[in-house]
Amino acid sequence: MDKRVADLEAALEGVEDGMSVMVGGFGGSGAPIELLHALIDRFRATGSPGRLTLINNNAGNGRVGIAAMIDAGMVERIICSFPRSADPRAFTERYLAGEIGLELVPQGTLAERIRAGGAGIPAFYTPAGLGTALAEGKPTARFEEKSYVLERWLKADVALIKAESADRLGNLTYRRAARNFSPLMAMAAALTIVQATRIVAPGQIDPEAVVTPGIFVDRVVEVPDPQQEEALMRAGVSH
């Protein structure tokens, strides 16, 4: 078994028009910038993949990563909890012009919907959102004297993930708080594509330290010295 692929283009093969794409990261922490920029380059060269639904906590910052995908016109809809950032122009302009869809989900519900999608649990009850606009029209039920809102699982065609270490079997570790949504998204997508800062031999990652077991991963591409979204944003970089 060898999930390594030679380059970003090979890693992204099969990402097509109209797909739903989970993107790991919380703000710039964990954003798989090289995978996202390679997708943008392909879109600019070929016109595909477009009409994407992106699933992320946020909706891009500055002129790189998800914001650059929106600027490029690849994104039809975003499912997220917090579409604001230090520089949210890309999303805000298209949203206010009615050119991009938004499904706003409480952050913990977003995480649990993705986890449920990966775990084969079609729906669950949560207290979050009860009695608010975000739960309007959703069924509720009472358990032990309290009411809860029914929420559905969330799955995707593709997940794009940034890891720290990976091996050819797809076992992953993450760097510091860059873990956030990535282990959940890796479970919930039909095709999970990982960029890893280093690929090591099987056994080099202590089994006790594996965060995402390789069963959830389809492809791994090595991207040494990856770019960091927040650092790019602060440097004023546009992709």
- For every residue of 39-64, DSSP letters joined together read HHHHHHHHS-S-SEEEE-SS--BTBB
For the chain, state the CA radius of gyration. Answer: 18
Question: Which of 101, 108, 203, 236 contacts another protein by CB under 8 A?
Answer: 108
Residue 180 in contact with another protein, rule: CB under 8 A:
yes
Question: Which of 60, 170, 183, 214 contacts another protein by CB under 8 A?
Answer: 183
Please give the C-alpha separations between residue 219 and each of 17, 34, 150, in angstroms, as whole numbers: 20, 15, 34
Question: Which of 50, 73, 127, 213 contacts another protein by CB under 8 A?
Answer: 127
Helix and strand element counts for the chain (H, E): 7, 11
Question: Which of 19, 53, 56, 112 contacts another protein by CB under 8 A?
Answer: 112
Smallest gap from Cβ 121 to another protein, in A, equals 12
Residue 43 in contact with another protein, rule: CB under 8 A:
no
Q: 126 CB contacts (<8 Å, ≥6 apart)? A: 108, 109, 112, 148, 149, 151
- Choices 41-49, 64-72, 109-117, 214-222; region in contact with another protein by CB under 8 A: 109-117
Report how far residue 142's alpha carbon sits from residue 165's, in angstroms, rounded to the nearest whole number.
44
- Choices 45-53, 89-97, 151-159, 201-209; region in contact with another protein by CB under 8 A: 89-97
Interface residues with another protein (CB under 8 A) are: 26-30, 57, 81-86, 88, 91-92, 95-96, 102, 104-112, 114-115, 126-134, 174-184, 211, 228-231
